[in-house]
């Protein structure tokens, strides 16, 4: 008798657009694993109950996406350090005792992407600018502090949200309004966009990068389109750039390993598969 297939899924609302089934499906096939990975749309009103009774779902584990990451974290019996700090879990699983465990791998996704596509990017960690103060910003600030950045400047439309993150993360983080950006750029070694601006269907991100040193790295959490206007502008003036797709691919690695027992790699074929699905963007 063969063992029952392990099942995992991405949970969110809406979730049909998620590329996670493609990513995990690619690895399941690559490793010949008898497993399944699907898509589960959970209405916001049902989310708390769903995560609190996760052991009845028939799933080994799940990814959690917007808007359920905080609800999932609150339902977990155990959280890793990052999920605790962020109050948000994007990867959950049941341990041997049936307890629900949660992790946040968005920050390792960010680091994995830059480590792979811009080796040496943090050799001399100085000053970073994070545009935006939502969940993605929180994960990226956590990541940058873990790599010893000396100062992380959070620039946001709603100043209280940036101030809250700066307060939570301590003395190396600073909150700013967009008016300060020009001056901040002069000293920056890294610029990260975590806002939804520049995403297909959203307003453009209007940033003038001219004060930025040419040695700085520019990256975007937006990956639709793959090459955002911010990255185009940076590339044209000679800055190194990294697109946001790798953050999505790398955040998936720990979940797959946890549920299916093999640590996968983010390889060129996987990236090409998702790029094709995104509509052939380069």
Interacting residue ranges for ligand ATR, rule: CB under 6 A: 132-137, 156-158, 161, 194-197, 203
Least distance (Å) from ligand ATR to the CB of residue 133? Answer: 5
Least distance (Å) from ligand ATR to the CB of residue 70? Answer: 10
CA distance 219 to 205: 13
Least distance (Å) from ligand ATR to the CB of residue 132? Answer: 3
CA distance 138 to 234: 23
Catalytic residue among 29, 69, 84, 202: 69
Task: For residue 69, indicate whether it is catalytic.
Answer: yes
C-alpha to C-alpha distances, 135 to 87, 120, 172, nearest whole angstrom: 10, 26, 19
- Which residue, 65 or 233, has its beta carbon nearer to ligand ATR? 65
**CB neighbours of residue 96 within 10 Å:** 5
Helix boundaries (H) for the chain: 20-31, 44-52, 69-75, 81-86, 106-117, 135-146, 159-169, 181-185, 229-236, 245-251, 253-260, 268-277
* DSSP summary character for residue 179: G
Least distance (Å) from ligand ATR to the CB of residue 88? Answer: 9
DSSP-derived 3-state class of residue 206: coil
By beta carbon distance, the residue nearest ligand ATR is 134
- Which residue, 150 or 157, has its beta carbon nearer to ligand ATR? 157
Let me know: does 109 contact 266? Beta carbons within 8 Å.
Answer: no
- Which residue, 68 or 117, has its beta carbon nearer to ligand ATR? 68
- Which residue, 28 or 82, has its beta carbon nearer to ligand ATR? 82
Angle at 274 between CA 198 and CA 228, to 5 degrees: 20
- Indicate which residues carry an active-site annotation: 69
């Amino acid at each position: 008798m063969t063992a029952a297939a392990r099942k995992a899924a991405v949970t969110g609302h809406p979730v049909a657009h998620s590329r996670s089934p493609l990513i995990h499906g690619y690895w399941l096939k690559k490793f010949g694993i008898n497993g399944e990975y699907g898509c589960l749309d959970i209405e916001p009103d049902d989310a708390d109950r769903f995560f609190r009774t996760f052991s009845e779902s028939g799933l080994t584990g799940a990814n959690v996406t917007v808007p359920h990451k905080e609800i999932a974290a609150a339902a977990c019996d155990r959280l890793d350090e990052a999920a605790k700090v962020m109050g948000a879990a994007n990867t959950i699983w049941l341990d041997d005792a049936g307890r629900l465990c949660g992790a946040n791998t968005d920050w390792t996704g960010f680091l994995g992407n830059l480590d792979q596509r811009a080796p040496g990017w943090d050799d001399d960690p100085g000053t970073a600018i994070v545009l935006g103060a939502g969940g993605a910003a929180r994960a990226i600030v956590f990541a940058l502090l873990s790599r010893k950045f000396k100062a992380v400047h959070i620039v946001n439309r709603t100043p209280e949200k940036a101030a809250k993150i700066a307060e939570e993360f301590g003395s190396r983080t600073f909150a700013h309004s967009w008016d300060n950006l020009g001056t901040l750029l002069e000293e920056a070694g890294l610029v990260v966009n975590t806002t939804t601006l520049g995403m297909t269907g959203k307003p453009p991100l209007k940033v003038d990068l001219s004060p930025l040193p040419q040695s700085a790295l520019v990256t975007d959490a937006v990956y639709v389109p793959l090459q955002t206007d911010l990255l185009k502008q940076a590339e044209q003036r000679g800055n190194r750039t990294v697109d946001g797709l790798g953050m999505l691919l790398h955040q998936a690695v720990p979940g797959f390993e946890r549920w299916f027992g093999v640590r996968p790699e983010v390889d060129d074929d996987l990236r090409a598969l998702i790029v094709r699905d995104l509509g052939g963007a380069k």
